[in-house]
Amino acid sequence: MTNRVLIAVPAFNEERTIDRVLERITAFGLPILVIDDGSSDGTAAKVAAHPVELVRHARNAGYGAVMCAAFAWAAHRDFDWVITMDCDDQHEPSFIPDFLREIALGDADVVSGSRYLASLPSDVAAPSDRAAINRTMTAEINEALCGAFDRPLTDSFCGFKAYRVHACHALRLTASGYEFPMQFWVQAAAHRLRVREIPVSRIYLDVKRSFGNGLDDPALRLAVYRSTLDSELQRCSARLRHLQPKTCAVRCA
């Protein structure tokens, strides 16, 4: 049976890149949903020129809220999978067929792009604070979840992913901002979702892009991520203890 696959694209003040990105994604012939997360520029007007669906948030709700909106939209319209990718030109659309091949294999619930799984010719160096935080949190997630996935994660923050919609329906995701992956990985482990990573290019075009809400301070950003991870580990501790090998301890706040 052929999988129904949706591409979901979060957008917040992306009028500079949205045309180019949507033109490249549209070439793959898949349905596309753009979620305009309260943009104050011309993003929505530019999206209207493309053959895509558009959902607009009245105000900026945050990355995690957009992910949950994409899952809900896909489930309501009976899609089997949703591929999420950013529209700031830092996710290379030419990798979409790689995700589709993994989806077709049928042995994963999450296909997660990794910018660190392999060295690719197009890779650029990540900003030092982002690389360090990604490395730190990925290691802490792997330690805390203790082999819940087939292989340790190599990139816990990449937003270029494919999610099986039905599998995500069981999750209770409430993190609204960039801390969303911390909550997602814990719940994915608690619900025994099957995770695969595939290599994608590491691209940084705007190293000064703001995270908002004070998160441009790396120390604060790391603290928020750790707080979310610890809170979710505590909330899911019973399920994680039941599912994990007895030799693994769940790290709680």
In this structure, of 104-113, 136-145, 234-243, the range with the lowest mean pLDDT score is 234-243
Report helix angle 218-235 to 180-190, nearest 10.
20
pLDDT value at 250 more than 60: no
pLDDT value at 27 more than 50: yes
Helices (H), 91-243: 96-105, 128-145, 165-169, 180-190, 218-235, 237-243
The DSSP code sequence of 37-63 is: ES-SSSHHHHHTTSSSEEEEESS---H
Q: Region 218-247: what's the mean pLDDT?
A: 86
| Percent of the chain clearing pLDDT 70 (strictly above) | 94
| Percent of the chain clearing pLDDT 90 (strictly above) | 80
Note the pLDDT of residue 1.
63
Query: What whole-number distance in Å separates Cα of residue 209 and Cα of residue 60?
Result: 16
Note the pLDDT of residue 243.
65
Query: What whole-number distance in Å separates Cα of residue 175 and Cα of residue 22?
Result: 27
Query: What whole-number distance in Å separates Cα of residue 8 and Cα of residue 17?
Result: 16
- Using alpha carbons, select from 153, 158, 162, 157 the residue that is nearest to residue 200: 158
Residue ranges and CATH numbers for the domains of the chain are 5-126+150-209 (3.90.550.10)
Q: Region 220-240: what's the mean pLDDT?
A: 95
Name the strand (E) or helix (H) holding 19.
helix 18-26
- Using alpha carbons, select from 181, 194, 187 the residue that is nearest to residue 151: 194
pLDDT tens figures, 80-138? 999 999 988 889 999 999 999 999 999 999 999 999 998 898 888 888 999 999 999 99
Alpha-carbon Rg for the chain, nearest whole angstrom, is 18
Note the pLDDT of residue 212.
76
Q: Bridge partners of 55? A: 35
pLDDT value at 239 more than 60: yes
Note the pLDDT of residue 245.
55
pLDDT tens figures, 183-229? 999 999 999 999 999 999 998 777 667 777 778 899 999 999 999 99
Determine how β-strand 32-37 pairs with β-strand 5-11: parallel
Note the pLDDT of residue 244.
53
